[in-house]
Structure 1
Amino acid sequence: MELSPDQTIFWQNGFITINLTLVTTWGIMLLLIISAVLLTRKLKTDIHISRWQCFLEMIVTGINEQIKEVGLNKPEEYIGFIGTLFLFIGFSNICIIFPGYTPPTASLSTTTALALCVFLAVPFYGISKHGIFGYLKSFLQPTWIMLPFNIIGEVSRTLALAVRLFGNIMSGGMIIAILLTISPFIFPVLMKALGLLTGTVQAYIFSILATVYIAAAVRNANENTKTKIKITK
């Protein structure tokens, strides 16, 4: 039994390897891009819109509301990144209904890449809002003694994001594989249905955590700016 799609290798030359994880990841990204182009090419502002446009607006509205609830007042600035994370992870996990499919999120390399995207996005949004010095000052709060602990926290939560998503997805796949060998067909079908729910929940959790981390960076920068203004006054 293969524990990771990384073990299925299609081509290899030295350190360059094309495996199932890479092929599936790029395939899903291409499918999402094509779907986005097809769904947005004939958008209407009339009362009567297509069902696909209605479905798309429901997704965008839902993501915007979740971003607002976390604390980011201008969701349009963040939905491109956070929405993409949610759709990619969600679609990757939902496709487990197809026989023989292994989600790329069952590979630690994929979840690590997603976590690194969040790791880089946090300082990007923090610096873009309040400058590099305003963002770096947040690591000295509430006192400079906390600097190493704040740095460790940044790294550890990135690692936690990667391992959490990888562990949850891989464990579900392993349970289904084990049940296929020791139980009747009906039990794996039920586990597939449960996997759909779990995959959607994991996509939601990952995107919400990314939003929380970004909101914390922006909020810390805001608080530092307000404190500086008060001291100046």
Structure 2
Amino acid sequence: MIDSTVVTTWVIIGVVWLLAWLLSRRLCINPGLVQTAVEGIIVSIENAIAEVAPQHARRLMPFIGSLWVFLAIANLSGLIPGVHSPTRDLSATSALAIIVFLSTHWYGIRLQGLKRYLIHYIKPSPILLPFHLIAEITRTVALAVRLFGNMMSLEMAALMFLMVAGFLAPVPILMLHIIEALVQAYIFGMLALIYVAGGLQYQHQRQQQEGKSHA
């Protein structure tokens, strides 16, 4: 079923693609104001990723960067009259959480190989396997529900405030919505980064231990 959430998501994906194409068409050595601003955003995202996973910043930049940009636009789309943010729909946040879940394992398997990646689920003891599996499921569910609940409550609170106070104080409500929407996008992206980096960091630590044992 194609509902408003699906349509809005498609439109946002199209807008992100169009902006990326337009902004990358005429890059120059001496950038103007727009290129400088875009480069500043990209550098900020890359630095944030490097603080969590310094060895894999460039590897994770396309996925985490795209996720942050999409979420920021999706969360802010609720400010457009007649448009509801797709992230206030549990089906949309669940889809995003599943993408993060799959990406976490995809990056781990790609770097380590399937066998080596699966071994970490029975470390340090095979008894912990059920707990690792439960943790994978619960954190994915929590990721989806957290974003859905926060965005739903944000839009409902703004609507109720407008119904009570009318349009006497639209600017504070607008600023609150913008700040909270960006914060929620940052939190979701940061949690996704931590989950993905967790598996990659395990590989990095294992390589260090193997290097010490051969030394």
Secondary structure of the residue aligned to 1:186 is: coil
Q: How does 1:9-88 map to 2 (within 5 A)?
A: 17-44=1-28, 46=29, 48-88=30-70
> Which structure carries more helix by proportion?
2
Gaps of at least 5 residues in structure 2 are none
- Is 1:106 equivalent to 2:88 in the alignment? yes
TM-score if structure 2 supplies the norm length? 0.94
Out of 23-32 and 132-141, give the one that drifted further: 132-141
Q: For each residue in 1:149-195, what CA deviation from the matched residue of structure 2 results, as whole angstroms up to 9, or x when unmatched?
A: 01110111111110000000000111112223222213454222201
Deviation at residue 228 of structure 1 after TM alignment: 5.0
Q: For each residue in 1:78-114, what CA deviation from the matched residue of structure 2 results, as whole angstroms up to 9, or x when unmatched?
A: 1111011100110112233322221000100110011
Gaps of at least 5 residues in structure 1 are 1-16
**Equivalent position of 2:143 in the other structure:** 161
Over the residues paired in the alignment, what is the CA RMSD in angstroms?
Answer: 1.6
Secondary structure of the residue aligned to 1:58 is: helix
Contact 1:72 1:215 in 2 (8 A): no
Distance in 2 of aligned mates of 1:229 and 1:73: 16
Distance in 2 of aligned mates of 1:221 and 1:91: 33
| Identity fraction in percent | 38
Distance in 2 of aligned mates of 1:132 and 1:231: 23
Which amino acid is 1:42 matched to?
R
Which amino acid is 1:110 matched to?
A
Distance in 2 of aligned mates of 1:74 and 1:231: 24
Distance in 2 of aligned mates of 1:72 and 1:124: 19
Which amino acid is 1:71 matched to?
A
Deviation at residue 28 of structure 1 after TM alignment: 0.5
Deviation at residue 49 of structure 1 after TM alignment: 1.0
TM-score if structure 1 supplies the norm length? 0.87
Distance in 2 of aligned mates of 1:97 and 1:137: 46
Distance in 2 of aligned mates of 1:35 and 1:217: 32
